[in-house]
Amino acid sequence: MTSPLSQITQPKISLSHVYKSFQGRKVLDDISLDIMPGESHIVIGLSGAGKSVLIKCILGLLKPDSGTILVNGENWLELSVDQRLKRMACIGMLFQGAALFDSMPVWENIAFVLLRQGMAKAEAVERAEEMLEWVGLPGIADKKPAELSGGMKKRVGLARAICHRPEIIFYDEPLAGLDPVMSDVITKLIKRLHERMHVTSLTIAHNMKLVDAFSDQVSMLYEGKIYQQLSAAELRLSTDPLLRQFIEGRAEGPIRFSSEATDKADLNADPSQSRKSQTIFNKERV
Q: Please check whether residue 58 is in contact with residue 52, taking contact to mean a CB–CB distance below 8 angstroms.
A: no
Q: Is 48 in the site for ligand ATP (CB under 6 A)?
A: yes
- 222-228 own/partner pairs: CB under 8 Å, 24+ apart: 222/45, 222/46, 222/49, 222/255, 223/29, 223/49, 223/256, 224/26, 224/27, 224/28, 224/29, 224/30, 224/31, 224/50, 225/29, 225/30, 225/31, 226/31, 226/32, 226/33
22 binds, among ligand ATP, Mg ion, none (CB under 5 to 8 A by kind): ligand ATP
Q: Determine the Cα–Cα distance for residues 129 and 135; give it in Å rounded to an integer.
A: 10
Residues 6+ positions from 67 with CB-CB distance below 8 Å: 15, 16, 17, 18, 19, 30, 31
Question: Quick one: 48 or 67, whose CB is closer to ligand ATP?
Answer: 48
Question: Quick one: 95 or 112, whose CB is closer to Mg ion?
Answer: 95
Q: Is 45 in the site for ligand ATP (CB under 6 A)?
A: yes
Report the DSSP beta bridge partners of residue 42: 203, 218
Question: Quick one: 56 or 155, whose CB is closer to ligand ATP?
Answer: 56
101 binds, among Mg ion, ligand ATP, none (CB under 5 to 8 A by kind): none
Options 49, 69, 94, 125; binder of ligand ATP; rule CB under 6 A: 49
Name the residue whose CB lies closest to Mg ion: 52
Q: Is 52 in the site for ligand ATP (CB under 6 A)?
A: yes
Options 15, 27, 31, 88; binder of ligand ATP; rule CB under 6 A: 27
- Minimum distance of ligand ATP from residue 258's CB (angstroms): 7
Given the rule CB under 6 A, which of 9-17, 41-49, 101-109, 183-191 is the region that contacts ligand ATP? 41-49
| Residue ranges binding ligand ATP (CB under 6 A) | 22, 27, 45, 47-53, 96
